[in-house]
Amino acid sequence: MLEFKEVYKRYPEFGEALHNVSFHIGRGEWVFLTGPSGAGKSTLFKLVAVIERATRGQIVLDGRNITRASNREIPHIRRKLGLIFQDYKLLYDRSVFDNVALPLVIAGFNPGEVSRRVRAALGKVGLLSKEKRLPQTLSGGEQQRVGIARAIVHKPDFILADEPTGNLDPEAAREVMDIFRDFNGLGVTLLIASHDEQLISRCGGRILRLQRGSLAEVNA
C-alpha cells in the first residue's frame, strides 16, 4: 500500500526533518506512528498527501511512485487517502452535512448521490441525527467524527490520521479509535500518528517510531 525508500526531507529554513526513512505498510494494516513533538510525523504525512515533496528517496503509494507526481496527478492521489487532523479543520459557517458533502461536491457528484453518501458516512460515525447542526454546537469528539465522515465519504483505501485524539478526552478518544477499528475491519489501511503511549499500548498493532527525523524502531 505504502512504501518509503530512503526518504529525506529538508526544509530550507529548518534543516533535515526526515533522515533516511524506509518502511512498508501492507494493504489492510493498522499502524501507529509515534515519537515526540517535532520528530517529523506531520512531515511524513504531508509527503504521502503530496503537500510537501521529498528532498531525496522514493515514496510508492498503491504501486505508483508519487515522489515526483505532477500537479495534475495530485487530486487523483489524494482521492485514495482519507486525511484526519488533530484540530478537525471543519468549516464553522457550514452545517455538518455540508462539511461532509464538500469533497463530493468538489468531485462533481450529483446531489442525490451526495446526499446518499453523506448520510451513509454520517451513519458510520453515529451523527445522522446532527446533520443540520453547525460544528461549534458539537462536542470535540463529535467534531472529530464529522472530520472522519468527511475523510471517508469518498471511500478511501487508506486513512492517515494526524494526532486524531490529541484534543479529546479518553471517552471520545476511545470512540474515535473504535470507528477506526470498524474501517480497518472493512479492509481499510490505517496510519495513525499519536504520542499517547497509553492509547497505543491499549490498541496494539505495529509501531513506527520517529526520533529527530529518523525511524528508530519498527515493531512487528
Q: Is 124 near ligand ADP (CB under 6 A)?
A: yes
Q: Which residue has the cell 524506509?
A: 22
Phi, psi of 121 (to 5 degrees): -65, -45
Q: Is 127 near ligand ADP (CB under 6 A)?
A: no
Is-contact 61 131, C-beta < 8 A? Answer: no
Three-state DSSP at 41 gives helix
Using CB under 6 A, pick the residue from 91, 107, 186, 216 that binds ligand ADP.
186
**Distance from C-alpha of 22 to C-alpha of 165, rounded to nearest angstrom:** 26
Residue 102 to residues 108, 115, 147, 162, Cα–Cα distance (Å): 10, 11, 11, 20
Using CB under 6 A, pick the residue from 148, 152, 168, 176 that binds ligand ADP.
152
Q: Is 164 near ligand ADP (CB under 6 A)?
A: no
Q: Is 188 near ligand ADP (CB under 6 A)?
A: yes
Other beta carbons within 10 Å of 183: 20
Q: Which residue has the cell 451513519?
A: 123
Only segment of 34-42, 71-79, 173-181, 199-207 that touches ligand ADP (CB under 6 A): 34-42
Q: Is 84 near ligand ADP (CB under 6 A)?
A: no
Q: Is 7 near ligand ADP (CB under 6 A)?
A: no
Q: How far is the CB of 14 from ligand ADP (least distance, A)?
A: 3
Q: How far is the CB of 156 from ligand ADP (least distance, A)?
A: 6
**Distance from C-alpha of 167 to C-alpha of 134, rounded to nearest angstrom:** 19
Residue (42 or 144) nearer to ligand ADP, CB: 42
Q: Which residue has the cell 445522522?
A: 128
Q: Is 145 near ligand ADP (CB under 6 A)?
A: no
Residues at the contact surface with ligand ADP, assessed by CB under 6 A = 11, 13-14, 17, 35, 37-43, 117, 120-121, 124, 152-153, 155-156, 183, 186, 188
